Amino acid sequence: MTSTVNPDLKYYKMLEGTWKAADGSCEAVLNSGAGIEIRYASGKLSSSYGVTDAVKLRLNQGGMMLGMMSAAYTFHDGEEIKISLNNPAVYEGDKAVCRVSEAWYGNGELHLEMMDLFDGHKKDIVLTRVKEDEVPLAEGEFRCSCGYRGKLSRFCPNCGRKIN
């Protein structure tokens, strides 16, 4: 452990939690310590992950010549955070069956692109946050779409979103 403040911590906090696909085919659990676990069909993935502020990166790219990064990666509509898995392989037993070729967050949804390692077929999976059993909000308490809950005045102290 280092005592350095991690500037990416706020992104990890935003992504922290359990995410599920509507049809139940996929579940992802992310923790604020940069760990991710995915269950997909009968396969499993366990990895650490990195985050990139997609909004900032896109702005930077606008002023740059087309470099390696921008050539290699196309942003998705609404992408807020690009997620990079250090080990993107999904295993069935000890055999890798597919891999997460792209992962990103935007507009309250987690997106995973799964690539089948046998035929290269790609599938987009959209996951939404699984709500924990809600304790009713106390007087003056708010809940933000990023998951923060507590007292705030107009702006979420976690993600900066404006709250009405």
Query: Where on the chain is the footprint of Zn ion (CB under 5 A)?
Result: 144, 146, 148, 156, 158-159, 161
* 76 vs 54: CA distance, rounded Å: 9
Instruction: Between 21 and 159, name the residue whose CB sits nearer to Zn ion.
Output: 159
Closest to 106 (Cα-Cα) out of 88, 87, 126, 123: 126
Q: How far apart are CB 163 and Zn ion at their closest, in Å?
A: 8
Instruction: Between 97 and 146, name the residue whose CB sits nearer to Zn ion.
Output: 146
Closest to 96 (Cα-Cα) out of 109, 108, 87, 86: 87
Instruction: Between 80 and 102, name the residue whose CB sits nearer to Zn ion.
Output: 80
Question: What are the start-end ranges of the H helices in the chain?
Answer: 9-15, 54-62, 68-72
Q: How far apart are CB 15 and Zn ion at their closest, in Å?
A: 12
* 110 vs 28: CA distance, rounded Å: 9
Q: How far apart are CB 47 and Zn ion at their closest, in Å?
A: 25
Instruction: Between 127 and 146, name the residue whose CB sits nearer to Zn ion.
Output: 146
Q: How far apart are CB 130 and Zn ion at their closest, in Å?
A: 18
Burial class of residue 44 in the structure, from the number of CB atoms within 10 Å of its CB (0-12 exposed, 13-18 middle, 19+ buried): middle
Instruction: Between 81 and 156, name the residue whose CB sits nearer to Zn ion.
Output: 156
Q: How far apart are CB 134 and Zn ion at their closest, in Å?
A: 16
* 62 vs 74: CA distance, rounded Å: 13
β-pair type (141-143, 122-129): unpaired
